[in-house]
Amino acid sequence: MASIISAPSFISTSQRRNSKVYRQVAGCIRRSPAIQAMRVEKPLEELYNVRVERKVSQQRLAELGVSRWSVWKTGKCQLPWDWQVDQLVYIEEGEVRVVPEGSERYMRFLAGDLVRYPKWFEADLYFNGPYRERYSFRAYGDD
């Protein structure tokens, strides 16, 4: 079992920071690509202003009138897409991977998710099987 070595409490903070072990550990952490990536990478939803509600309740769906929205469905495919207006989407079946233009990362949305795509958003959509959604175009500021 590995144990953590700590400096005795009577050694000051500045003495600990100047110790050889502290400098080595701190240097490894600062240079670690994984640590650096965790510091700078925000969730894609936040970066691109895509809002998602997971496992939406039937009450919320009724409030929004989702049953009256238009239906769109597809099978396995890849589709480049850009949104000319805000769009609210409720995924009824399947899943979609959304890769924003210029990104190597993706967002994943599943059946039961309510997703708000912002106007002018561009992405590639990847569907791995049967997919069905209900959608509604929104005016700016509509929630």
Model pTM greater than 0.75? no
In the 3-class helix/strand/coil scheme, how is the chain assigned residue by residue?
CCCCCCCCCCCCHHHHHHCHHHHHHHHHHHHCHHHHHHHHCCCHHHHHCCEEECCCCHHHHHHHCHHHCEEEEECCEEEEEECCCEEEEEEEECEEEEEECCCCCCEEEECCCEEEECCCCEEEEEECCCEEEEEEEECCCCC
From first to last of the 143 residues of the chain, give the pLDDT tens digit.
444 444 454 555 555 555 555 555 555 555 566 655 555 678 888 888 899 999 999 999 999 999 999 999 999 999 999 988 999 999 999 999 999 999 999 999 999 999 999 999 999 999 999 999 999 998 765 65
CATH of 44-137, one of 2.60.120.10, 3.30.379.10, 3.40.50.2300, 3.90.180.10: 2.60.120.10
Q: Domain limits of the chain?
A: 44-137
